[in-house]
Amino acid sequence: MLATVFTKTTRDRWKGMAIAVISLALLLLMAMSVYRDIDLSIYTELPEVFLSLMGIPDGADVASLAVGVLYGFYGALTLAGLAVSMGSASVAGEERDGTIGLLLGNPKSRTNVLVSKAASMLLLVGLGALALWGTAPLVAGILDVRMGGMQMGAYALHLFVNAIFYGFLAMAIGAWTGKRGLASGVTAGVMALGFVAVGIFPIIEGWENVAKAFPWNYFDNGQPVINGIQWGDLSVLLVASVVLAAIALVGVNRRDLRGQNVGVTLLDRLRANPMTQKVVDRLAGATRVSRIWIKTASEHQGLLIITAYLMFFVMGVLMGPLYGLMDKTLLSFADQIPKELYAFVGAGGGSMSTAEGFYEVETFGLMAPIAVMVVTVVIGAQALAGEEQDSTMGLLLANPIKRSRVLLEKAWAMVVYAIAVGFFTFAGVWLGSLIGGLGIGVGNIAATSFLATLVGLAFGALALALSAATGRVKVAVFGTVGVALVFHLVNSFASLNDTLAAWARWTPFNYYLNSHPLVNGMRWGDAAVLTGLTVVLVALSVVLFQRRDLRQTG
Partner 1 sequence: MTDQIAIHTEKLTKHYGDVHALVDLDIDVRTGEIFGFLGPNGAGKTTTIRTILDEIRPTSGKASILGLDSHEDSVKIRQHIGYVPGDLAMYPNLTGRDTLTYFANLRGGVDWDYVDELTERLEADLSKKVGDLSSGNRQKVGLLQAFMNRPKVLIMDEPSSGLDPLMQRAFQKLMREVAAEGTTVFLSSHTLSEVQRVADRVGIIRHGKLIALEAVASLRSKAIRKVDLYFDGPVEASVFKPLPGVRDVAVENNHVRLSFDGQMETLLKVITERFHVLDISTEAADLEEIFLTYYRDEGVTV
Q: Which residues bind partner 1 (CB under 8 A)?
A: 260-262, 268, 285-286, 288-292, 295, 299, 390-402, 549-550, 552, 554
Closer to partner 1 at the Cβ: 105 or 400?
400
What is the smallest separation between the CB atom of 405 and partner 1, expressed in angstroms? 9
What is the smallest separation between the CB atom of 304 and partner 1, expressed in angstroms? 16
Angstrom distance (rounded) from CA 420 to CA 418: 5
What is the smallest separation between the CB atom of 387 and partner 1, expressed in angstroms? 9
Closer to partner 1 at the Cβ: 287 or 520?
287
Task: Report the number of secondary-structure helices (H) and strands (E) in the chain.
Answer: 28, 0
DSSP character for 554?
-
Closer to partner 1 at the Cβ: 149 or 285?
285
Rounded to 5 degrees, what are φ and ψ at 117? -70, -40
Angstrom distance (rounded) from CA 492 to CA 487: 8
What is the smallest separation between the CB atom of 411 and partner 1, expressed in angstroms? 17
Residue 204's beta-bridge partner residues? 326
Closer to partner 1 at the Cβ: 58 or 268?
268
What is the smallest separation between the CB atom of 254 and partner 1, expressed in angstroms? 22
Closer to partner 1 at the Cβ: 363 or 382?
382
* C-alpha distance from residue 38 to each of 33, 42, 234, 450 (Å): 9, 10, 34, 34
Angstrom distance (rounded) from CA 169 to CA 180: 12
DSSP character for 326?
B
What is the smallest separation between the CB atom of 374 and partner 1, expressed in angstroms? 21
What is the smallest separation between the CB atom of 285 and partner 1, expressed in angstroms? 5
Orientation angle between helical segments 152-177 and 180-200, nearest 10 degrees: 140
* C-alpha distance from residue 64 to each of 68, 89, 150, 236, 310 (Å): 6, 35, 7, 25, 33
Q: Nearest CA to 520 among 437, 431, 448, 451?
A: 448
Closer to partner 1 at the Cβ: 275 or 286?
286
Angstrom distance (rounded) from CA 341 to CA 541: 38
Closer to partner 1 at the Cβ: 8 or 288?
288
